[in-house]
Amino acid sequence: MRCKPHALFAGVCLLLAHVAAAGVPTGLALPPGFGLTVYAESVPGAREMAQGAQGTVFVGSTKGEVYALTDADHNGVAERVRVIARGLQLPVGVAFHDGDLYVSAVSRIYVLRDIERHLDDPPAPELVTDRLPGETHHGWKFIAFGPDGALYVPIGAPCNICDPGPDHGKLIRMRPDGSGWQDVALGIRNTVGFDWQPETGRLWFTDNGRDLMGDDLPSDELDRIDRPGQHFGYPYCHQGDTPDPEFGRGKDCRDYTPPVLKLGAHVAALGMRFYTGTRFPPRYRGAIFIAEHGSWNRTRKAGYQVVVVRFEHGRALPPEPFLIGFVREEKALGRPADVLVLGDGSLLVSDDLTGAIYRIDYRP
């Protein structure tokens, strides 16, 4: 693979090979030694990803379908892209648990039983619960099973800025059968990505800041839950130190949990995962990769990249650009939505604008 320095980031390798698939942007850039290939195309509206026990990659979408991608010969390219569910309402979230695939669909959670044994004849989605709020504003749900075996489900605020009341603006968990709901954290505007740190077991999540406070306020957040029931400030306080112009009157930001890191205003930080593989160099092991979907109403675009948050002596360092090149002359060529560490240690990135799934490998 040929490589030359990228004009925007010193020491970043500009990759020109292996991205020639239809509709996929060229000129995506990674740090030296990393390579990028197209793992799969034709996954319209690709959002959250999950890997099954037999290696199948499941992808939720904004288009009403759920996909299964299989790489039978383990060459880093999915030979088959199957649709395993159709006609669901924004089935963005997917989570694999004990052989079953759970799918979020705004007010409902479904499950496809024993899915990897039935990819060619998928079962009808079985309803787990239909008790979630039905608003589509921040109603698209990233879901995941925690180390406790519970399904974690966000309930975003049904607005840009409002008092969401007790039924919105939080993260909950439930048993796999949909029972036993519990609030995990409050004061969350809209989290579309979370993961558990392997060393500590603590839950970290991204949260999108509100709009219409200007180009540079407030920042999206990277947060950590240290105890159940923490309140992270929404709608009263943003980014840990900025009272809301309307709902922050009479409030003190010190009464709420501040973010671990500010990620930048309007970058739309979505899917995030801890890097648990060994394929990447040691400096990336245990780090957090975050997909930044990108701004929609900023004067100049922000986000549109994958960043990495590394740790030094247990402290999270500021985010560093990792995969860039999705914006050219203020035109969006792609929009990263999620990241997923595969069993072989490579990293997948979903792009809901082009419908592509990229695979990042390290091969110095």
pLDDT tens for 76-91 read 999 999 999 999 999 9
How far is 248 from 236, CA to CA, in rounded Å?
A: 4
> pLDDT value at position 25?
78
| pLDDT tens string 217-253 | 999 999 999 999 999 999 999 999 999 999 999 999 9
Neighbours of 10 (CB within 10 A): 7
> pLDDT value at position 300?
97
CB 40 within 8 A of CB 22: no
Q: Which two tokens stand for residue 142?
A: 């990233």
How far is 271 from 205, CA to CA, in rounded Å?
A: 9
> pLDDT value at position 21?
58
Does residue 349 or residue 5 have the better pLDDT?
349
> pLDDT value at position 304?
98
CB 292 within 8 A of CB 258: no
| pLDDT tens string 24-57 | 778 999 999 999 999 999 999 999 999 999 999 9
Res. 269 pLDDT band, cuts 50 70 90: very high
| pLDDT tens string 156-186 | 999 999 999 999 999 999 999 999 999 999 9
> pLDDT value at position 15?
43
> pLDDT value at position 22?
55
Res. 2 pLDDT band, cuts 50 70 90: very low
Whether the bond between 133 and the residue before it is cis, its omega within 30 degrees of 0, is no
Q: 299-324 b/e with 16+ CB inside 10 Å = b?
A: eebbbbbbbbbbbeeeebeebebbbb
pTM: 0.94
Provide the number of structural domains found in the chain. Answer: 1
CB 193 within 8 A of CB 60: no
Neighbours of 175 (CB within 10 A): 13
What is the rounded average pLDDT of the residues 61-81? 97
Q: Which two tokens stand for residue 135?
A: 């608003």
Res. 357 pLDDT band, cuts 50 70 90: very high
| pLDDT tens string 188-228 | 999 999 999 999 999 999 999 999 999 999 999 999 999 99
Strands across the sheet containing 29-30 = 3-5, 13-15, 29-30
CB within 8 A of 97, min separation 6: which ones? 145, 149, 151, 176
Question: Domain range for residue 265?
Answer: 3-362
Task: Assess whether pLDDT exceeds 80 at residue 10.
Answer: no
| pLDDT tens string 304-332 | 999 999 999 999 999 999 999 999 999 99
Beta strand 230-231 with 182-186 is parallel
| pLDDT tens string 101-154 | 999 999 999 999 999 999 999 999 999 999 999 999 999 999 999 999 999 999
Task: Assess whether pLDDT exceeds 60 at residue 3.
Answer: no
CB 206 within 8 A of CB 194: yes
Q: How far is CA 168 from the centre of its chain?
A: 20
Give the CATH number, domain containing residue 49: 2.120.10.30
